Amino acid sequence: MSHTATRSAARPEPDAPMVEIAEYVAGYRIDSQEAFDTARFMLLDSLACAALAMDHPQCLNHLGPLVPGADLPGGARVPFTSHELDPAQAAYNIGVQIRWLDFNDTWLAAEWGHPSDNLGAILAVADYLGRRAEAAGGQGMTVRDVLGHAIKAHEIQGCYALRNAFNRVGLDHVILVRLASTAVATTMLGGDRDAIVTAVSHSWIDNGALRTYRHAPNTGPRKSWAAGDACRRAVIHALNAVKGVVGYPSALSAPVWGFQDVAFEGRAFEFERPFGSYVMENVLFKISYPAEFHAQTAVECAMRLHPEVSARIRMQGVDVIDRIVIETQEAGRRIIDKTGPLANYADRDHCIQYMVAVPLLFGRLTADDYTDDVAADPRIDQLRARTLVVENPDFTRDYFDPDKRYIGNAVQVFFADGTATEKVSIDYPVGHRRRRAEGIPLLMSKFEQAITPKLPAVEAETLLSLCRQPERFDHIPVTQLMAMLRA
């Protein structure tokens, strides 16, 4: 007679990774001025992305209440609109705006992602709580408070990404947006260490979205609203946790039923460093081009080659090109090396061949260059068909080096007559920490050009003036900032 071992129903101590997140969020003091300064630029950059997204009708279709009439007067406001919503739906709206154009900040390691996606949850909860506090005669959070929460959300998402490749098991990186936003939103709502552990356990039990919508043959626009969806779910978990829902202490480690066995091939998470402010200090800004970040330097290379290449194409046609060789990192080779028909915007902004062909031809790469109208130019696909993408081991090594975090690419064009351009190679883009002095003025220009057409002149000038005075800007109530962003 066989017997099955009985599993104890005694609840274990919470899994260590969940406790470490809770202790960091609830108790760690951010004392890095560089982190706060970078976070301020991150906030402005994200608002610029949100403003630019408002020019795209597909983005607008996602904004507003979940169903008509489900507005919440006095709720969280959605920038550049008149919407006032419950904090969960506002988190979705703001997350969609920031992420829509693939133009917000980036973090690249074993996993990839956009840590500023977490602002969807952070801004929504901060504005909601602030408006409630003010209505009761109190005060809400300041912009600096928001920056502190953003630093911690960046750190959680980024530190998990350093060594844990969720993409290798088919899961999308927005699983880390939900994780980080859940933890931070819980503390913003007044949850203590135990509430954060509870909320995080629910986040892990959700498992994760599949990456299939980012890859051929299924690439589609869900990637532009997936982070907003993660923010919405995070706020729901946080709200539930502060109400006292039951948590699940071994959500990660439970045999058979825990996240590690179900979704992560039985492996525990690996960590390169303890939580601090490293990620915000080293985050990558997309300043020049709305392009998947592994291709940013490839676009810069193509821009340098544009005058020579476009001149020859104008005189002799595309047949003057024999081949285009792009050297990239292993990650870029794996996720954005794409041949065959490109069905939509999302297909094109995740195709390195497309992102190089456009600047070679036109000397630009804007969000509009991923539209059907531009993609209809037959020369783009003709150049794509002549493009070879190869891994450069040096780029891959420097990509993973924690002291470099480079995202190198090289581009060279070979002509039918046997001549060739120089090989242009760039190790890291203008948004890299090592190019901050060059990048920040460009980032501020991006912000000004994005928001000015979207706001009344007085509000736009007031906001721009505040942004030039960091100490003053940091200490305004976040409700004041959100009020200035009203359409």
pLDDT at 65 (0 to 100): 98
Assign residue 261 the CATH number of its domain. Answer: 1.10.4100.10
Q: Which residue blocks in 206-316 are alpha helix, DSSP H? A: 222-243, 259-263, 278-282, 296-316
pLDDT range class, residue 2, cuts 50, 70, 90: very low
* Contacts of residue 249, Cβ cutoff 8 Å, sequence gap at least 6: 11, 12, 13, 14, 15, 18, 197, 201
**153 in any annotated domain:** yes
Give the mean pLDDT of 338-361: 95
469 touches 461 (CB < 8 A): no
Query: Is 266 a residue whose pLDDT tops 90?
Result: yes
d(CA 316, CA 90): 53
Region of poorest pLDDT, from 12-16, 304-308, 327-331, 400-404: 400-404
Tell me the per-residue pLDDT of 376-386, one tens digit each, with 9 for 90 and over: 999 999 999 99
326 touches 390 (CB < 8 A): yes
Residues 457, 458, 462, 465, Cα dihedral to 10°: 50
Give the mean pLDDT of 125-147: 98
Query: Is 305 a residue whose pLDDT tops 50?
Result: yes
Query: Is 7 a residue whose pLDDT tops 90?
Result: no
Indicate whether 313 and 383 sit together in one domain. Answer: yes
- The chain-wide mean pLDDT, for the chain, equals 96
pLDDT at 5 (0 to 100): 55
Structure tokens at 7: 């599993």
d(CA 476, CA 461): 16
In percent, the amount of the chain with pLDDT more than 70 equals: 99
Q: Map residue 123 onto helix, strand or coil.
A: helix
Domain span including residue 200:
16-282
φ/ψ of 141, rounded to 5, equals -75, 155
Tally the domains of the chain.
Answer: 2
Indicate whether 300 and 424 sit together in one domain. Answer: yes
Tell me the per-residue pLDDT of 166-202, one tens digit each, with 9 for 90 and over: 999 999 999 999 999 999 999 999 999 999 999 999 9
pLDDT at 296 (0 to 100): 95
Query: Is 4 a residue whose pLDDT tops 70?
Result: no
Tell me the per-residue pLDDT of 67-86, one tens digit each, with 9 for 90 and over: 999 999 999 999 999 999 99
d(CA 214, CA 301): 25
Indicate whether 265 and 315 sit together in one domain. Answer: no
Q: CA-based angle 14:20:21, to the nearest 5?
A: 100
Strand partners, 84: 77
Give the mean pLDDT of 463-485: 97
d(CA 309, CA 360): 6
The H-or-E segment that residue 247 falls in is none
Assign residue 315 the CATH number of its domain. Answer: 3.30.1330.120
Tell me the per-residue pLDDT of 238-261, one tens digit each, with 9 for 90 and over: 999 999 999 999 999 999 999 999
The H-or-E segment that residue 415 falls in is strand 409-415
Q: CA-based angle 125:482:184, to the nearest 5?
A: 25
pLDDT range class, residue 8, cuts 50, 70, 90: confident
Query: Is 3 a residue whose pLDDT tops 70?
Result: no
Query: Is 6 a residue whose pLDDT tops 80?
Result: no
Structure tokens at 265: 């091939």
Indicate whether 306 and 220 sit together in one domain. Answer: no
Indicate whether 265 and 314 sit together in one domain. Answer: no
Indicate whether 245 and 359 sit together in one domain. Answer: no
249 touches 194 (CB < 8 A): no
**479 in any annotated domain:** no
Indicate whether 238 and 351 sit together in one domain. Answer: no
Give the mean pLDDT of 89-113: 96
d(CA 162, CA 315): 47
Give the mean pLDDT of 270-283: 97
Question: What is the CB-side half-sphere exposure of residue 244 using CA atoms within 13 A?
Answer: 0
Indicate whether 23 and 155 sit together in one domain. Answer: yes
Tell me the per-residue pLDDT of 210-235, one tens digit each, with 9 for 90 and over: 999 998 899 999 999 999 999 999 99
**287 in any annotated domain:** no
pLDDT at 1 (0 to 100): 40
Q: What is the DSSP letter of 30?
A: P
Indicate whether 58 and 109 sit together in one domain. Answer: yes
**468 in any annotated domain:** no
Query: Is 147 a residue whose pLDDT tops 60?
Result: yes
Query: Is 33 a residue whose pLDDT tops 50?
Result: yes
Structure tokens at 159: 């530190």
**441 in any annotated domain:** no
Indicate whether 274 and 367 sit together in one domain. Answer: no
Indicate whether 91 and 38 sit together in one domain. Answer: yes
